[in-house]
């Protein structure tokens, strides 16, 4: 699995329009907190169970992908869920999986706030909100 900072991931997406961009957060997070444009939501886990099912996730991504050789970029809130999700995709045979480091909202600061230190939104990259 590759790891790219948000700005590098944005550059990669612009240079590889064939790449599949997947938001692994729960749908409600993606809709209400915001998300990058063009991202496909395939949750790593979902409410109410909040338990990941790696095979189900990999199968859902495979349905969105053109093939398992298509580059897949993964984003979540802080870049943690995407690590497990990326490993699940690699185990399922995906060739090029890219984790977006720090995710959409980034790490917590000293006041326990996000989007203040790093992440997609902090870096001023395009995003939309419901």
For position 113, what pLDDT does the model report?
Answer: 87
For position 118, what pLDDT does the model report?
Answer: 94
Rounded to two decimals, what is the model's pTM?
0.95
Residue 51 lies in a domain: yes
> How far from 96 is each of 3, 29, 44, 81, CA to CA, in Å?
11, 26, 18, 17
Residue 114 lies in a domain: no
For position 6, what pLDDT does the model report?
Answer: 98
How many domains is the chain partitioned into structurally?
1
Residue 126 lies in a domain: no
The b-or-e profile of 101-129 (16+ CB within 10 A means b, else e) is bbbbbbbeeeeeebbeebbbbbbebeeee
Residue 121 lies in a domain: no
Domain of residue 81 covers 2-100
For position 5, what pLDDT does the model report?
Answer: 98
Residue 50 lies in a domain: yes
Residue 16 lies in a domain: yes
For position 47, what pLDDT does the model report?
Answer: 86
- Output the tens digit of pLDDT for each of the chain's 130 residues: 999 999 999 999 999 999 999 999 999 999 999 999 999 999 999 988 899 999 999 999 999 999 999 999 999 999 999 999 999 999 999 999 999 999 999 998 898 888 889 999 999 999 999 8
Residue 27 lies in a domain: yes
Residue 40 lies in a domain: yes
Look up the CATH number of the domain holding residue 38. Answer: 3.40.250.10
């Amino acid at each position: 699995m590759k790891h790219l900072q948000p700005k590098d991931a944005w550059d990669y997406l612009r240079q590889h329009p064939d790449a599949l961009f997947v938001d692994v957060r729960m749908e409600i997070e993606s809709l209400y907190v915001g998300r990058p444009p063009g991202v496909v939501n395939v949750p790593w886990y979902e409410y109410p169970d909040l338990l990941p099912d790696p095979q189900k996730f990999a199968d859902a991504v495979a349905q969105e992908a053109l093939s398992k050789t298509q580059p897949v970029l993964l984003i979540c809130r802080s870049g943690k869920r995407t690590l497990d999700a990326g490993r699940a995709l690699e185990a399922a045979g995906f060739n090029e999986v890219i984790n977006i480091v720090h995710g959409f909202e980034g790490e917590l600061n000293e006041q326990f706030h996000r989007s203040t230190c790093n992440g997609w939104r902090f870096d001023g990259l395009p995003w939309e909100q419901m």
